[in-house]
Structure 1
Amino acid sequence: MSTYTNAKELSNLVLGKTTDYCSQYNPELLQAVPRSLNRDSLGLKAEQLPFVGEDVWYGYELSWLNDKGKPVVAVAEFSFPCTSANIVESKSFKLYLNSFNQTKFSSWQQVESALSADLSATADAIANVKLFPVNNCPALALSADNALCIDDLDVEINHYQLAPEILSTANRNQESQVEEYLVCHLLKSNCLITNQPDWASIYINYRGKQICHKSLLKYLISFRQHNEFHEQCVERIFCDIQRFCEIKSLSVFARYTRRGGLDINPFRSTIEKKAPKLRTLRQ
């Protein structure tokens, strides 16, 4: 369990509590979680982050009324820079999006502007918002990738609680420099507050001494009973690989399955600020 589970910043969250759904636009429903809560435990300072990147969310259940009261539906893409002071707590995000349901807006642009302004205020950084018709969102097209899947390796698993020490010898005896693009679809962690399971495919692109694939797989499986938010898991994975393995460049990208009409896809990298456009079958 993470050391910040009982942090006072989490005590007032709606997550894990019974709540009423509001169908009239209400930006006050949004709640923020300081990124510093887990970054302090990782020894990360806001002014000296070892990565760049963003958190990309997709909203599949966004609807509002036009001026004549007719429902409009859309798919939304939200992106937040990893340098924002806060993450948006996901349940409050869902409640906020539901508050659009019975509210009239004159145009798609008005909705987009409201979303951008409210989410930027919550994250304390510019949030980029794009709305798409439900039958035409290019970013959500299924696309093939050339990542090497490590799921079928024959390994014995003894750790289902986070065990970063598994990586301590992952490339100790390696001399040659390689560049690899790996994927594991077995990542599972649990919500920090509710203990609900979070499922993801995680893509790791690195250059440096070759990492033992079996050790990496065991390490990723050790998240199975670990409690942490999506964004925090990805930053932990990034930092653990960087700490234990001699890596010259590293990108870590998790594609989480959706819950309540939202999926969260954190991306952290030493070289690229923007997440690749990639969608898995499970999304």
Structure 2
Amino acid sequence: MTDYSNSPDLKGSVLGQSTEYIDQYTPSLLFPIARKLNRDALNIDEAALPFKGQDIWTGYELSWLNAKGKPQVAIAVFTFACQSSHLVESKSFKLYLNSFNQTRFNSRDEVKKHLVKDLTAVVNSLVQVTLYNADEYNCLPYTPLPGECIDDLDIEIDNYDIDAHSLKSQSNKTVTETLHSHLLKSNCLITSQPDWASVIIRYTGEQICRESLLRYLISFRTHNEFHEQCVERIYSDLSTQLNIKNLEVYARYTRRGGLDINPYRSTHNNDTPFAVKINRQ
């Protein structure tokens, strides 16, 4: 599988590097990564994407000063369209949010306007931003994942190289079902730090062999790729290897550095149709 870690497109990334934490508002800290980097390898045409969807980021460590110098805090939800030309490298996002810490703003709305403007400019697509007060504990409630969990299947696995051809149909019977697993783990493309996730797969088509699906998901365990790229790979492999008409793939990754990333890809929905938050987040 292609190694993109030394790609010129990633040159200048702050991932894996010792960095200074700047606490004065600095939009230039944001580092864009072209989505095309991974999509070419998957034969995904950016001019005619085979899916719709979003990347939903939750920021738990956002703070700034009001006009009198008093600290303010918020939980932020950022929604990026998968049609954007770029995604934001996660450590640069963290550094950017930290740069608000000692900066004075006149209002929460002013903070939001800066976030929308800066992020939109970096990814070349309008970014939605919602800010919640710290005591709005119901804004992001934990919810059970929809569908059936496949993690209790008694399988044996000794191969952790991703093989799309291992995906099999159980039968040619057409079904509509929702499956989920908490066993998805991949590694950061640059640092190789582990990324943990639960993944939801909802589809209509020939019934998927659940054992083959679980082996396939577990095979990401030693794979190095960004969150968004993993979800697009899962979506593409399921689409190309199986006779599926409608497909949704939604991964909820655990947070790192105060951010969690939750990519969603679908044949038909631009917006995530189900609100979930795993207890590991």
User: Normalising TM by the smaller chain, what interval?
Assistant: over 0.9
Which one-letter code corresponds to 1:24 in the other structure? Q
Spell out, residue by residue over 1:131-177, the C-alpha distance to the aligned partner (whole angstroms, 9 max, x if none).
0001215441112343100001000002212222211xx11x61211
Task: Decide which of 217, 227, 230 is 2:227's aligned counterpart.
Answer: 230
Unaligned runs of at least 5 residues, structure 2 = none
Q: CA deviation at 1:6?
A: 1.7
Partner residue, 2:77: 77
Which one-letter code corresponds to 1:146 in the other structure? P
Q: CA deviation at 1:46?
A: 1.0
Which one-letter code corresponds to 2:66 in the other structure? N
User: Relative to structure 1, is the Cα distance of residues 266 and 95 closer, same or farther in structure 2, using a 3 angstrom cutoff?
Assistant: same
Partner residue, 2:65: 65
Partner residue, 2:192: 195
Task: Give the Cα–Cα distance (whole angstroms) in 2 for the partners of residues 204 and 134 of structure 1.
Answer: 32
TM-score for the superposition, normalised by structure 1: 0.97
Partner residue, 1:266: 263
TM-score for the superposition, normalised by structure 2: 0.97
After superposition, the CA RMSD in angstroms is: 1.0
Q: How many residue pairs end up in the alignment?
A: 280
Check conservation: 1:3, 1:41, Cα contact below 8 A. Answer: no
Q: Is 1:256 aligned to 2:242, yes or no? A: no
Task: Give the Cα–Cα distance (whole angstroms) in 1 for the partners of residues 142 and 133 of structure 2.
Answer: 17
Check conservation: 2:175, 2:206, Cα contact below 8 A. Answer: yes
Task: Give the Cα–Cα distance (whole angstroms) in 2 for the partners of residues 198 and 65 of structure 1.
Answer: 32
Identity %: 54
Partner residue, 1:136: 136
Correspondence 1:87-236 to 2 at 5 A: 87-136=87-136, 138-167=138-167, 170-171=168-169, 174-236=171-233
Q: Greater CA deviation, 235-244 or 143-152?
A: 143-152
Q: CA deviation at 1:243?
A: 0.5
Partner residue, 1:282: 280
SS at match of 2:125: coil
Check conservation: 2:62, 2:100, Cα contact below 8 A. Answer: yes
Q: CA deviation at 1:230?
A: 0.2
Which one-letter code corresponds to 2:133 in the other structure? P
Check conservation: 1:75, 1:137, Cα contact below 8 A. Answer: no
Q: CA deviation at 1:220?
A: 0.2
Which one-letter code corresponds to 2:136 in the other structure? N
Partner residue, 1:52: 52
Check conservation: 2:145, 2:180, Cα contact below 8 A. Answer: no
Which one-letter code corresponds to 1:4 in the other structure? Y
Check conservation: 2:161, 2:222, Cα contact below 8 A. Answer: yes
Check conservation: 1:116, 1:129, Cα contact below 8 A. Answer: yes
Partner residue, 2:18: 18
Partner residue, 2:33: 33
Spell out, residue by residue over 1:21-53, the C-alpha distance to the aligned partner (whole angstroms, 9 max, x if none).
000000000000000000000011111111000
Check conservation: 1:149, 1:183, Cα contact below 8 A. Answer: yes
Task: Give the Cα–Cα distance (whole angstroms) in 1 for the partners of residues 215 and 239 of structure 2.
Answer: 17
Spell out, residue by residue over 1:229-279, the C-alpha distance to the aligned partner (whole angstroms, 9 max, x if none).
000000000000000010010000000000000000000000111123110
Task: Give the Cα–Cα distance (whole angstroms) in 2 for the partners of residues 124 and 174 of structure 1.
Answer: 43
> Deviation above 3 Å: which 4+ runs of structure 1?
none
Task: Give the Cα–Cα distance (whole angstroms) in 2 for the partners of residues 146 and 163 of structure 1.
Answer: 26
Unaligned runs of at least 5 residues, structure 1 = none
